[in-house]
Amino acid sequence: MSHDMSKDTLPESHDSHGTEVAAHGDPFADPGLPAHEPRRTDIDERAAQRAERQVSLLFILSMLSTVGFIASFVIFPIDKIVYIFPIGHVSALNFSLGLTLGVALFCIGAGAVHWARTLMSDHELPAERHAIEADDEVRADVIEQFKTGAAESGFGRRKMIRNTLIGSMALVPLSGVVLLRDLGPLPEDKLEHTGWDEATPAKPIQLINMNTNEPMKPEDITVGSLSFAKPEGLEEDAHDFQVQIAKDALMLVRIAPGDLKDKQSAELGFEGILAYSKICTHVGCPISLYEQQTHHALCPCHQSTFDLADGARVIFGPAGHPLPQLKITVDEKGFLVATGDFDEPVGPSYWERSR
Amino acid sequence: MTASSTKGAAKPASTRAKPANKAESAADWVDGRLGLYTLAKSNLRKIFPDHWSFMLGEICLYTFIIIILTGVYLTLFFNPSMGEVVYHGSYAPLDGIRMSEAYASTLRISFEVRGGLLIRQIHHWAAIVFVAAMLVHMMRVFFTGAFRKPREINWLFGFLLLFLGMFDGFMGYSLPDDLLSGTGVRFMEGAVLAVPLVGTYLQMFLYGGEFPGTDIVPRFFTIHVLLIPGIMLGLLVAHLILVFYHKHTQWAGPGKTEKNVVGMPLMPVYMAKAGGFFFLVFGIISACSAIATVNPIWAYGPYRPDQVSTDAQPDWYMGFSEGLIRIMPGWEIGLWGHTLNLGVFVPLMVFPLVLVAIAVYPFIESWVTGDKREHHILDRPRNAPVRTGLGAAWISLYLVLLIGGGNDLLATHLHLSLNDITYFVRVGFFVVPVITFFVTKRWCLGLQRRDKDKVLHGRETGVIKRLPHGEFVEVHAQLPAAKLHTYTAHEQPQPLELPAEFDENGVKRKVGVIAKTRAKLSQGFYGEGTQIPKPTAEEHHEITSGHGHH
């Protein structure tokens, strides 16, 4: 095996007048640009005229399609639904506008490309590349100019000016940073409290069924079902409803006494009814999938799975800790109530959260 | 420009010919103010080489223009407010439902503004194609080595466009404040909270208080329509100026050298082809928008933090980050009354790292190879097996994470265990890229062998010849000179060598760790087993000088 092709890492010179080299026996030399091969439209005027007609036809189709677009806009009522195989039921207006616009645009493009490919010259031409790097003379000249400019400014010599300028330039963006302060409040302990935190054993808060907007009784919650609740007094039209429900949302399950694995968790519940935060401890999605046989609750966003019979322990997925649980009991009228806030902050974990 | 002005206005300062028509005199007018002719001189007939893969960047440019056009239209109707209203519009299933004005105005665009739904669909479809085209375009540039000097800076501009494009897409689909996108915004809250030390502060400042608050949609709106597109427009213009300035790369072939560019002129061929291609792309996206509905926000309903739908998926370009967040084990570390949420923070950090890994590759390669020359001739991917292997490994990592991001869809559609898919992706994250690297490298070497074989033995003609003694052989035809040149035009660099361990006086040389690492890497790139030696002129001569068929 000869090594003469790879003596160094420099490229071989590409010589466009390769025939000369080839004559000396290099079979791989560059033979130079190939001769132009005429297309049919270059030599047959009838073919060229046919191509011209094809291009024009495409442009005419585009015009017709634009007329169709305007006609569709006028004709079809916006709420008209039509069945189109195999897409199904679609808005007639959207369908006709989209297709006519699509055809109008596509035909312009197809016409232009067909024109370029059949009728415009397809002679390949070489163009020289120009050096990007400046030559040494220019380089020396620019560096000299810069040095002159720098010397005339005295930037290097007058150190006090330089240092104070750097100082002032470094400080002035701070104003911009300070201005961002009122983007939002400080976190303080906001994340540690929910709408349930005003509940006390003396003044409990009723659990309100999310669907019926009524207080709940223990017998409403059957084994195998998943019920959702919010604290009493939180109405949908409240100005901060979204912020509150993002923390207060509750899910209730009843688990047969024999299936309860975690004693502490059972004590927070009432007759096997357990109230967990609905907000996933991973990144805050509401947990909504419940497998009644296994008592597993699954978050549909990232598939964290919690065993609700075992204190909502994480048994699969990316969540880092169990769902917080709310202590519940019944009031004198027999309605389910909470007597305090969750046993730990709800939702995703964060730096200040103590375990 | 033709002559410097002479004193006095009595004589015309120019020997320029009188304009032949109105168009010429208008051009003269512009030239006198903007220097039009000088600008057009080198650009009007600028040569562009022709290859299908050079169109990929054009798709990015055109979808970007489509997004801007349709986006401006949408701002005329969209109301970026999280103020709550009760809906009484024409979409009956949501009548009487409380929702934000952002969501209500998106419903209005979809159901009450004629053509509004189409423009919304085109906007979203174009965004999907935009990011996809940027990724594929980047892969083209990567696998052909087009990122090499002098184009490294333009590679970075392109990378920034991809990065910003992804985020602008995320913010854009979050604006309607529907149940699906709101879930994405909630995810972002959790991700921000996971940042150690300052997470809660960042979250409060970003959302203007506790999640969801009423600030995030208007803030996203400003960033989505003004800040990021403004930066992207600047980068895009710079990207294109550099493409013009560097002149396009080209494939090796007869008559093509590092010193020239062979192709057809901008006017008229590429004006027609590239201009026409804009309309082709726009036309196809319009037709898609008529036929296939994307992001039907009316079906999701308005966002409520306590509600969610199954199959919650981001747009495809966020899928790999979704994969990261889904496969990460839920590690939380308690530290003196604080929590380090690695389960979320690690994916949050790996997400940009996956992207940055590909962004810095050109600089790593040029450092490892010590190559300081300009490259305008593209590499065929097979002729750079290690680079091609690394690129393929990166893509495989990306795809593995996409699988992780869609684990629920895969599980339900293919009847697989969700847990098994997740475990597979956890292992695959580390294993699949390694396997892909070695398989791709071997594949490249196989293709190199085939090229060598073709060069030395010609191509198979399919003609079977019977020899006098009864043996059947296939006739091979010599490749034409142009092909021979094309298949052998690539260079095969040699690995960097460390200086001998002892100098001529027998004194041990000091070789730094960095130099050693570099030599090792160079060995890995170009050392043994990384390329099939090119056929030599002697080999070719020996075989073709008529010793019968081999």
Name the residue in chain B with its Cα closest to that of A182.
Answer: B205
* Residue closest to B47 by CA, chosen among B269, B264, B268: B264
Query: Domains, chain B, ranges and CATH?
Result: 58-79+93-304 (1.20.810.10), 458-544 (no CATH)
Q: Do B330 and A320 touch (CB under 8 A)?
A: yes
Q: Do B332 and A321 touch (CB under 8 A)?
A: yes
Q: Which tokens is A84 given?
A: 């189109």
Number of cross-chain residue pairs from A and B with Cβ atoms under 8 Å apart: 388
Mean per-residue pLDDT for B67-83?
98
Mean pLDDT of chain A: 91
Q: Say yes or no: A63 contacts chain B, CB-CB below 8 A.
A: no
> What are the beta bridge partners of residue B262?
A126
Q: Do A116 and B114 touch (CB under 8 A)?
A: no
Q: Do B489 and A30 touch (CB under 8 A)?
A: yes
Nearest beta carbon to residue A283 from set B191, B286, B287: B191
Q: Do B190 and A347 touch (CB under 8 A)?
A: yes
Give the whole-angstrom CA distance, residue B398 versus residue B392: 10
Residues of chain B with Cβ-Cβ distance to A350 below 8 Å are: 193-194, 199-200, 203, 339, 341
Q: Do A284 and B279 touch (CB under 8 A)?
A: no
Q: Please determine, for residue A21, whether its predicted confidence score (pLDDT) is greater than 90.
A: no
Q: Please determine, for residue A13, whether its predicted confidence score (pLDDT) is greater than 70.
A: no
Give the whole-angstrom CA distance, residue B404 versus residue B395: 14
Q: Please determine, for residue B390, whether its predicted confidence score (pLDDT) is greater than 60.
A: yes
Mean per-residue pLDDT for B385-406?
96
Query: Which stretches of B116-271 are assigned E, i.e. beta strand?
Result: 260-265
Residues of chain A with Cβ-Cβ distance to B148 below 8 Å are: none
Mind telling me how many Å the CA of B120 is from chain A's nearest CA?
A: 11
* Residue closest to B105 by CA, chosen among B179, B175, B186, B173: B175
Amino acid at site B318: M
Q: Using CA of residue B367, residue B369, residue B375, residue B380, what is the dihedral sign? A: negative
pLDDT of residue B503: 78
> What are the beta bridge partners of residue B340?
B333
Mean per-residue pLDDT for B91-112?
97
Task: Give pLDDT tens digits for A173-208.
Answer: 999 999 999 999 999 999 999 999 999 999 999 999
Mutate to test the interface with B, among A12, A84, A100, A283 (most CBs of B within 10 A): A283
pLDDT of residue B287: 97
Mean per-residue pLDDT for B14-20?
83
Q: How far is CA B133 from the centre of its chain?
A: 6
Nearest beta carbon to residue B193 from set A15, A348, A354: A348
pLDDT of residue A18: 39
Q: Please determine, for residue B13, whether its predicted confidence score (pLDDT) is greater than 80.
A: no
Q: Please determine, for residue B545, whether its predicted confidence score (pLDDT) is greater than 80.
A: no
Give residue B547's pLDDT band: very low, low, confident or very high (50, 70, 90).
Answer: low
Task: Give pLDDT tens digits for A295-332.
Answer: 999 999 999 999 999 999 999 999 999 999 999 999 99
Q: Which tokens is B226 given?
A: 């003004």
DSSP A309: G
Mutate to test the interface with B, among A15, A17, A28, A245 (most CBs of B within 10 A): A28
At B212, is the secondary structure helix, strand, or coil?
coil
Q: Using CA of residue B203, residue B208, residue B210, residue B213, what is the dihedral sign? A: negative
> What are the beta bridge partners of residue B179?
none
Query: pTM for the whole thing?
Result: 0.92
DSSP B493: P
Mind telling me how many Å the CA of A317 is from chain B's nearest CA?
A: 6
Q: What is the 3-state secondary structure (H, E, C) of B494-537?
A: CCCCCCCCECCCCCECCCCHHHHHHHHHHHHHHCCCCCCCCCCH
Q: Please determine, for residue A49, whether its predicted confidence score (pLDDT) is greater than 90.
A: yes
Residue partners of B323: CB distance under 8 A and separation at least 6: B400, B401, B402, B403, B404, B405, B406, B407, B425
Nearest beta carbon to residue A109 from set B279, B331, B370: B279
The CATH classification of domain A194-338, taken from the options 1.10.10.60, 2.102.10.10, 2.40.170.20, 3.30.470.20: 2.102.10.10
Q: What is the 3-state secondary structure (H, E, C) of B74-96?
A: HHCCCCCCCCEEECCCCCHHHCC
Answer yes or no: are the C-beta atoms of A346 and A279 closer than 8 Å.
yes
Residue whose entry in the numeric block shows the structure tokens 């299936």: A259
Residues of chain B with Cβ-Cβ distance to A107 below 8 Å are: 283
Mutate to test the interface with A, among B216, B258, B267, B279 (most CBs of A within 10 A): B279
Q: Say yes or no: A9 contacts chain B, CB-CB below 8 A.
A: yes
Q: Please determine, for residue A24, whether its predicted confidence score (pLDDT) is greater than 80.
A: no
pLDDT of residue B14: 67
pLDDT of residue B370: 87
Q: Do B260 and A127 touch (CB under 8 A)?
A: yes
Sequential DSSP letters for A194-239:
-TTTT--SSS-EEEEETTT-SB--GGGS-BT-EEEEEETT--TTST
* Residue closest to A8 by CA, chosen among B369, B519, B120, B285: B369
Q: Say yes or no: A48 contacts chain B, CB-CB below 8 A.
A: no
Give the whole-angstrom CA distance, residue A113 versus residue A117: 6
Task: Give pLDDT tens digits for A242-292.
Answer: 999 999 999 999 999 889 999 999 999 999 999 999 999 999 999 989 998
Answer yes or no: are the C-beta atoms of A102 and B286 closer than 8 Å.
yes
pLDDT of residue B498: 80
> What are the beta bridge partners of residue A290?
A297
Task: Give pLDDT tens digits for B26-36.
Answer: 999 999 999 99
Q: Do B204 and A184 touch (CB under 8 A)?
A: yes
pLDDT of residue B550: 44
Q: Do B264 and A210 touch (CB under 8 A)?
A: no
Determine what percent of chain B is predicted with pLDDT higher than 70. 97
Q: Do A6 and B539 touch (CB under 8 A)?
A: no
Sequential DSSP letters for A153-198:
HTTTT-HHHHHHHHHHHHHHHHHHHHHGGGGS---TTGGG--TTTT
Give the whole-angstrom CA distance, residue A127 versus residue A1: 38
Q: Do A103 and B343 touch (CB under 8 A)?
A: no
pLDDT of residue A17: 42
* Residue closest to B477 by CA, chosen among B455, B500, B446: B455
Nearest beta carbon to residue B262 from set A101, A122, A126: A126
Q: Say yes or no: A256 contacts chain B, CB-CB below 8 A.
A: no
Amino acid at site A304: S
Q: Do B330 and A282 touch (CB under 8 A)?
A: yes
Q: Which tokens is A146 given?
A: 């810069």
Answer yes or no: are the C-beta atoms of A325 and A276 closer than 8 Å.
yes
Mean per-residue pLDDT for B488-515?
84
Residue partners of B101: CB distance under 8 A and separation at least 6: B79, B81, B82, B83, B84, B85
Give the whole-angstrom CA distance, residue B271 versus residue B277: 10
pLDDT of residue B215: 97
Mind telling me how many Å the CA of A196 is from chain B's nearest CA?
A: 16
Q: Say yes or no: A353 contacts chain B, CB-CB below 8 A.
A: yes
Residue partners of B141: CB distance under 8 A and separation at least 6: B147, B151, B155, B158
Q: Do B204 and A79 touch (CB under 8 A)?
A: no
Task: Give pLDDT tens digits for A104-156.
Answer: 999 999 999 999 999 999 999 999 999 899 999 999 999 999 999 999 999 88
Q: Please determine, for residue B187, whether its predicted confidence score (pLDDT) is greater than 80.
A: yes
Mean per-residue pLDDT for B118-130?
98
Q: Using CA of residue B30, residue B35, residue B39, residue B42, what is the dihedral sign? A: positive
Task: Give pLDDT tens digits for B136-164.
Answer: 999 999 999 999 999 999 999 999 999 99
Q: Say yes or no: A128 contacts chain B, CB-CB below 8 A.
A: yes
Give residue B311's pLDDT band: very low, low, confident or very high (50, 70, 90).
Answer: confident
Mutate to test the interface with A, among B43, B85, B177, B286 (most CBs of A within 10 A): B286
DSSP A338: E
Mean per-residue pLDDT for B75-82?
97
Q: Do B210 and A93 touch (CB under 8 A)?
A: no
Q: Say yes or no: A211 contacts chain B, CB-CB below 8 A.
A: no
Give residue B499's pLDDT band: very low, low, confident or very high (50, 70, 90).
Answer: confident
Q: Do B481 and A27 touch (CB under 8 A)?
A: yes
Q: Do A31 and B121 touch (CB under 8 A)?
A: no
Answer yes or no: are the C-beta atoms of B381 and B444 closer than 8 Å.
yes
Name the residue in chain A with its Cα closest to that of B307.
Answer: A286
Mutate to test the interface with B, among A63, A106, A209, A354 (most CBs of B within 10 A): A106
Task: Give pLDDT tens digits for A217-246.
Answer: 999 999 988 999 999 999 999 999 999 999
Nearest beta carbon to residue B284 from set A106, A283, A285: A106
Question: 10 Å Cβ neighbour count for A231?
Answer: 23
Q: Say yes or no: A178 contacts chain B, CB-CB below 8 A.
A: no
pLDDT of residue B3: 44
φ/ψ (deg, to 5) at A327: -75, 125
Answer yes or no: are the C-beta atoms of B305 and A286 closer than 8 Å.
yes
pLDDT of residue B512: 86
Mind telling me how many Å the CA of B511 is from chain A's nearest CA?
A: 22
Give the whole-angstrom CA distance, residue B129 versus residue B288: 11
Amino acid at site B36: L
Give residue B8's pLDDT band: very low, low, confident or very high (50, 70, 90).
Answer: very low
Mean per-residue pLDDT for B419-425?
95
At B324, is the secondary structure helix, strand, or coil?
helix
Q: Please determine, for residue B232, whether its predicted confidence score (pLDDT) is greater than 70.
A: yes
Peptide bond connecting A86 to the previous residue in cis, omega within 30 degrees of 0: yes
Q: Say yes or no: A328 contacts chain B, CB-CB below 8 A.
A: no
